Amino acid sequence: MVYKKQLNDAQRLVLYFVIYSFLGWVLETIFALFVLGRFVKRGFLYGPVCPIYGFGAILIILVLKKFKGKKFKEFLISMLIFSVFEYAVSWIFEMVFHLRWWDYSNDIGNINGRISIAYSVAWGIIGITFNEKIHPIIENKLDKAKNKISYEIQKIIVIILPISMLADFILSSIKYLGWCLVCFLGWSQKTSLQNCNISKERGKKNEWKNVWNYKK
């Protein structure tokens, strides 16, 4: 049975956001496993999602769709969008949670350790690949899947998934803000709040080694 009534564009974007947030988490987890040789819980949230990838994917979908086939423009725009976005997210997390999820200070051409030339170029290449190859495949697979699911169920999925991610974000924020408060109250005489490192793996006070710059 094929259902003709489908989600509107805004609802489809919400679904894409969730899908690419999950795929981003998978990518980060595999990369960390390759670098460290063991499983590392990646991302800020409790669940298996990295919203930064979801937001990045939505930006690419909205901005690059009219540049499809123009690879040089796709590259430049992707590099610019992701670099600005990455810098902004890094700054916000450090200001609010006193955490640095990544640090490119040892890389050539970095800006405050938040972005670097190498990663900006990589983001440009990823943007082209995503716009030309990855998203069309995901879009096609999703359309086929949705044709077999009723509109009512699709709406429920689109509502429940982002709400669960929002709840996860609130709980995760409370956890990390709580550790910042503990650091400030318990160790303010010995160390500054900025140097009170928070473990992403165990949720307790110790230094978390950044996966991207980790060396055995």
Task: Tell me: pLDDT of 195 over 60.
Answer: no
Cβ-based neighbours of 199, under 8 Å, separated by 6 or more: 205, 206, 207, 208
pTM for the complete prediction? Answer: 0.72
Full DSSP string of 74-93: HHHHHHHHHHHHHHHHHHHH
The position carrying tokens 């991207």 is 212
pLDDT band for 189, please (50, 70, 90 cuts).
very low
CB-CB neighbours of 74 under 10 Å:
23
58-88 pLDDT, tens digit each: 988 998 888 888 889 999 999 998 899 899 9
Q: Per-domain residue ranges for the chain?
A: 9-213
- Cα-trace Rg, the chain: 19
Cβ-based neighbours of 155, under 8 Å, separated by 6 or more: 7, 11
pLDDT value for 83? 92
Longest dimension (CA), the chain: 67
Q: What does each C-alpha distance from 48 to 24, 121, 167 come to in angstroms?
A: 9, 27, 14
For the record, the structure tokens of 192 come out as: 């500054």
